[in-house]
Structure 1
């Protein structure tokens, strides 16, 4: 059984059909990339998955109709969306705190991951004090620490220069091989 299955998804904005008969399967621990030019509907697909938009077709998660979008997905947008007034430690715990986990418990969960994400020693820094790649790693840490069933990565390295982007892609592949997250990436 696949983790995520989309059947004949369609979405139009006014008279413009953005998604037309899209079907997709993602198995557990699989990393799937969706490639396409700007305006092809990649981000719209994520909006359907997260419930931000509604379309036609069928969506299933672990064989059941997808109805509670929020509990399955951890979403990482194109920009790091770090809060400039919060230190990196507090930025990485934000999703957990929003879910109702106390600050101390959230920090306890995220602290051991800083070294693995190449951020050890930068916990007390503000986002403006980090490089673009480090900011993206902090945003990814904030995403994966939520321990959702699936990661939705919306062009997570699009804002980086070509060399940093290539390094981050290699790093993400190594992290995926280690953790075996189920992930859907658009680029």
Structure 2
């Protein structure tokens, strides 16, 4: 049996602590966000994650943020915040000749503009300016549609079959609780604009 590196041991300790703390924090955040929101901490998988999602009114678009390590077994976390995609929505056929963008492009544009407007470059939740991409399958279809309809690729990050939107700059795992609380302050503003309606 080989000895694990100190770095791996540090990550193990961090993940163990987060697995203990995140369920209670998720309940606190859900109560603070109010009706229609669900906050779920997954502490059973290989790394802890948190998903915050609004159950939208009928006919409107769901908004979610999925907070994950930046890569497998990393000690830094980031969020992908945006709109929830229906299965196959990105790859669905869409007439090219009418010039109209699919509905998800408009939702991504509104939510991403709002995210950049409310997140200061030096604030606790900072939006990454790097471009998203995709070379195969739904990821390529996502990137192609974004280019075709003038949507900046930095607004089309994430998972085409789940959540697309902006990605935040990473934060240290020790700062995850405060990061999640700050994220909860901006998510309701994104939900307001997701379906193009004005909040009452």
Query: Which structure has the highest strand share of the two?
Result: 1
TM-score past 0.5 threshold: no
The TM-score, its normalising length taken from structure 2, stands at 0.28
The TM-score, its normalising length taken from structure 1, stands at 0.29
